[in-house]
Amino acid sequence: RGIFQKKWGFGKKPALIIIDMAYGWTDPEYALGSARLDGAVEGIQRLLPVCRAKGVPIIYTTSPFRKDGYGPMPSHTEGGAKYRAIDARAYDIDARLKPEKGDFIIYKENASAFFGTHLVSYLVECGVDTLIVTGCSTSACVRATVVDARAYRFKPIIPRQCVQDRAAEAHEWNLFDIDAKFGDVVDVAEVIDYLTKLKDN
């Protein structure tokens, strides 16, 4: 174990962040979409109603759609016509995880949800000490957000069933490395139990 695999634990005031669960990533019709994300959708669907019932702040991230084609998703791929062209829908949050009034939506252009956004000031304003990180991809935006969350001294909690990647190997390795260094990778049932015991916000 050495200096790694330290457990940060749960704090007193959590927030839930749902990273990039937009159609461009969840719908296999798009070049960067993957049906593997269905598992993360199901896991997040278990968390959302509990968070809403407890008044936990809920944050979504996606990216801004630009008609000029500049953005995090390429406008063309080697697959060509095999895939749906990147359009405004690609950046819409998947309806299975539809945001509600009062949720905070961040439009980011980099991997970390913190970089160049108002996320940290929003969390501080809400008095948050624990960030429950969900979404995709485990090896990129999830990992980058967890690393930055720890740098800002939040307690990152990653429910295993609520994150996913296009590649199983990348998913598993990054979960291992995140758990060893930057956050706590736990079962979603443990997070639900923690939330259930919280006083309503």
Q: What are phi and psi of 58, to 5 degrees?
A: -120, 125
The yes-or-no answer on residue 126 being catalytic is: no
| CA dist 105 → 29, 64, 100, 108, 198 (Å) | 24, 11, 10, 10, 24
**Residue 137 is encoded by which pair of tokens?**
């991809």
Distances (CA, A) of 11 to 15, 57, 60: 10, 14, 21
> How far does Cα 68 stand from its chain's mean position?
27
The SS3 assignment for 56 reads coil
- Helices 168-181 and 143-151 cross at an angle (nearest 10°) of 10
Active-site residue (options: 51, 126, 136, 141): 141
Active site residues: 141
